[in-house]
Chains A and B, each alone.
Chain A
């Protein structure tokens, strides 16, 4: 008996992410149980065989993510989902995916850390880990959904970006977003825009597996095709062969970074709320952005010109948009469920405009009233 989902569901963010992945064409999930992301694995274990895909539960998170890289090299859209401790184990493999330009999606349902922390409480403590966790210089794409619907939509988006730019993509959802239940509308198949990785079209004898096109992304052959290739985590030339030459390292690392940075406008996704005439701007993402939206509405009722810049993507960081905002407002508040992570990026982009951090390293986000109070404080200065 098939458990085909309804087009309209009342469900939790974790399951919406799983359904988003399936709608995006994901047919391989390498899993390992961890609170608060287990529901994604459970849902995939049930749904994958119905769609002739595969769910495999591994012996650890390292095997989960590495199997995902292996599956992706067959041309299959593949993903895993975990939480902080699992991500910590997966970071080396993220570096390999960056270096071998392997499309994959990693959903991190962020819980309280460090270490085991508070497994059942949400936090946004893994934002910098997603960017900097693996060794070496690289860029990452990080999406930050704030609702059950966005868990679906942005997981689809995550696959599209992974395929388009041949890169690992993080969906960074705090536990509250992962576990909250809301209405989810699954669009008709024809209304979901899907992107698939570029495939080589040249004669197989001329195929250079790591020669990029003008968009800095090389077409990707799959295992078992007529295009033979060799992929390695070692620094490699356009043929894929290892090299210890300085110019090869510089060219490769520059291209891997630039393919994200130079396409940042295409990747970055922001929502502006009441910003047109705002004097005080709040920057937030995930659950705190929901509190912030309510706080802005209350402040506006009281005649304070406040607005919200909601980051639906945190990586690559929307530096230009924040810099521009900083010239338009008198003060920026950053509300994060951590000790201040994106705050540092905002500070670097927004200086010298004053920037105030509302930090909270715990499960309950900043409440609307707390943000209203901070807005009033700043407004009265």
Chain B
């Protein structure tokens, strides 16, 4: 698949330029650079979508067992959510994080290159697809809300302590926008996360005959789910908002990333991306 490799390099280059130009534009306060960076990222995103579709269409079975494919997919879903949020909430500052994050994930997908998941051939496509898709969407939302939460905490602290908002902070959206993102990540992200988790267990039940096998990642996922459920309850039922929910989303996101990277690469698990 040399052609795919060339396209991959091109996408990486576009993401790289997009991220650099976008961040530089934000720091220098140049609107044109901001937009140009976003446009480059969008271009890369379009090609990325194409590549993923081609890979899926051409080699449906085998691609689903490649770990680089999942990192690539994660980068893609992050960007998708970033563009959707940008469009809906005009929260352009998300690009500051989304573009570089997508670049890193995409690059790691390229360097991982072709190691296989130890997947049995009997793939129960629907549940596996649900497992991956829902979880990645939830992680994408969490990532956005995590960044928004950090911004919320900093700005809220500044307003509370009557510190002047200057320079970069002045260009950021109001507190209410960050809280809206948090609400989205909680009210939409939690059901998605739950769906991802349940479909994973069902799939495991089909494939391995055991729904729960005390895998470190499964334990971590349950723990995160409990935390997430608490956050969901407090936010949706009790009406928490603001600083506390911002902190909690940061925790949930941080733990998710830690479990994804840390456990996958360090502990023995059947979720490992290494062969």
Question: Are A and B co-members of a single complex?
Answer: no
